[in-house]
Amino acid sequence: MRQQPSIAIIGAGPAGLTAANVFHRHGWQCEVFESDASAASRDQGGSLDLHPEDGQLALKKAGLFAQFMAVARHEDQGLRIIDGASGAVMREFAPAEGEGDRPEIDRDVLRQLLLEPLGGNVVHWAAQIRALTVLPDGRVTLQLESGSVGPFDLVIGADGAWSKVRTVLTDIFPAYTGVTFVELWFDDVDQARPAAAELVGHGTMFALRDQAGIIGQRNGKGRLRVYAAFRTRAEDGDRPDKTLTNLGKDELLARFSGWAPSLTSLLRDADHIAAIRPIVTLPAQCRWQHQSGLTLVGDAAHVMPPLGTGVNLAMLDAAELAENLIHAADWRLAVQASERAMLDRSGAIASQCIASFDAMFGPDAHQSGVGHFDAHHAPLPP
C-alpha cells in the first residue's frame, strides 16, 4: 500500500479547494485552513471564465465538471472593446448559442460548488496562520491564533499573493505594478441601470486610454462590476489601498477627464465604490529551493496581473499536484516534479501577462490593449 502523507492545505480559494476535492475523490484525507470566518463572510471578487485546457480540466480531475456546466453562465461570454474617447464600439464578439467554451461563474458560486463534496469537517474556518515551524524530520506544524496544529507531512500553500507558506521558502515578495483597480458595483443593473447594462453587454467590456482603463464585467444575480484602472501618482505611494481610502467619485472621475461620457457614467452612476485593489506581481521566473514538506500552488507561487489566467492556472496546479501525489510511488519526489512542471508553465505565461499588462497601461494603451484581448479571447472576427 502506498503511503498517504498527512496533508494541510492553507487557503480555501479555488486552488486549495480543487486540491482537496481531488484528494477526497480518491479517498485521501486532508485538512484545509482558511482565514475567512465562513464561506460567505466576504465578497470573493469578480466573475471567472474557466478555460477548457486548465480550469475546466481541473474540475474534470475533481469530478465536478458536470456540476460546473450546470451552474455556469454560458450566456455571458461576450467581449466588447470600446474607444475611450468617443465611446464607439471598436470590436465585439459573442459566441453563437451553444458554441462558447469559456462559460462564466461567480467566485462565490464556484466556492460553493467546490465545498459541497467535502462535507463540513474538512475546512477549518477563521483559521489565521501566524507562523509555520519546520521540524527536524521535515514535518511542519502550523501556529494558529488558537494554538498549534499538526505536524503534517506536507503543507500546500494555496494562500494567495501574500502567502505565509511562501515566506518559509523564499524572501521574494510581490511588487506593486503601479496600476490600481478601483472596483465599483451596480446591483439589479438590468432594472435599475439599463444604460449601463446595455453598454457592457453580456460579458466583459474594455476601454483603454492614456494609461488607464474602464472595464465592465457582467456578474450573476443582476450585478455589474466596473473597474476604474489607472497608474497611480507619486503621492499615492505603493499602497494606494491605504492612501486612497477616502477616494470619492468626484476625485475618481477627475482621473478620467476627457473620456467618453457613456464610459464615465459607469463610474458616476455606480451604487458604490466596493474596493481599491493595487495590482501586484511576482517575478515571472520566481523560483525557490525545494524544501521537503512544503509546496505552493496558484497565486502563492506565481501571482500575475488579472488577465484571466491566474485562477485557471491555480486550479490546474492544484489538481495536477494532488493527482501526482496519489499515483506516485514516492510522494516526495512527486511534489518536486510537480513544482518544476508548474513553474516551467507559469513562468512562460507570467512573462506574457506582465508584458501585456504593461502595454495596456503604457503610452500606447489603446492599440496594445485591443491586441492583447484579441489574443486571450479568440476567436474575434478580423
Closest by CA position to 167, among listed 8, 296, 279, 303? 296
The DSSP secondary-structure symbol of 229 reads: E
Read off the C-alpha cell for 195.
444604460
Cell of 221: 444575480
The rounded distance, in Å, linking the Cα atoms of 93 and 105 is: 19
Is residue 225 within 8 A of residue 216, CB to CB? The reply is yes
Considering only the C-alpha atoms of the chain, give the largest distance between any 2 of them, rounded to a whole number of Å. 68
In the prediction, which pLDDT does 2 show? 56
**Residues 243-280: pLDDT tens digits?**
888 888 999 999 999 999 999 999 999 999 999 999 99
- Grid coordinates standing for 319? 489538481
- Asked if residues 313 and 13 have their Cβ atoms less than 8 Å apart, the reply is no
DSSP string, 44-113: --S-EEPPTTTHHHHHHHTT-HHHHHHHSBTT--EEEEE-TTT--EEEEE-PPTTT-S--EE-HHHHHHH
Instruction: Provide the β-strand partners of residue 157.
Output: 10, 296
Q: How many CB atoms lie within 10 A of CB 380?
A: 14
Per-residue model confidence (pLDDT) at position 19 = 98
* Alpha helices (H) along 295-364: 299-302, 310-327, 331-360
Cα 312 from Cα 199, distance rounded (Å):
27
pTM of the model: 0.91
148-166 pLDDT, tens digit per residue, is: 998 999 999 999 999 999 9
Residue ranges in the chain whose pLDDT is less than 70:
1-2, 364-382
Domains of the chain: 7-78+104-173+283-358 (3.50.50.60), 177-281 (3.30.9.30)
Nearest to 73 by CA among 44, 47, 53: 47
Instruction: List the grid coordinates of 270.
Output: 455606480
Which residue, 131, 114, 102, is CA-closest to 15? 114
3 state SS of 296: strand
Per-residue confidence (pLDDT) for residue 95, from 0 to 100: 85
On the question of a cis peptide bond just before residue 379, with omega within 30 degrees of 0, the verdict is: yes
Please report, as a single letter, which amino acid is at residue 129. Answer: I
Cα(first)–Cα(last) distance of the chain, in Å? 56
Instruction: Spell 112-134 as b/e; 16+ CB within 10 A means b.
Output: ebbbebbeeebbbeebebeebeb
Cell of 215: 472595464
Report how far residue 161's alpha carbon sits from residue 164's, in angstroms, rounded to the nearest whole number: 9
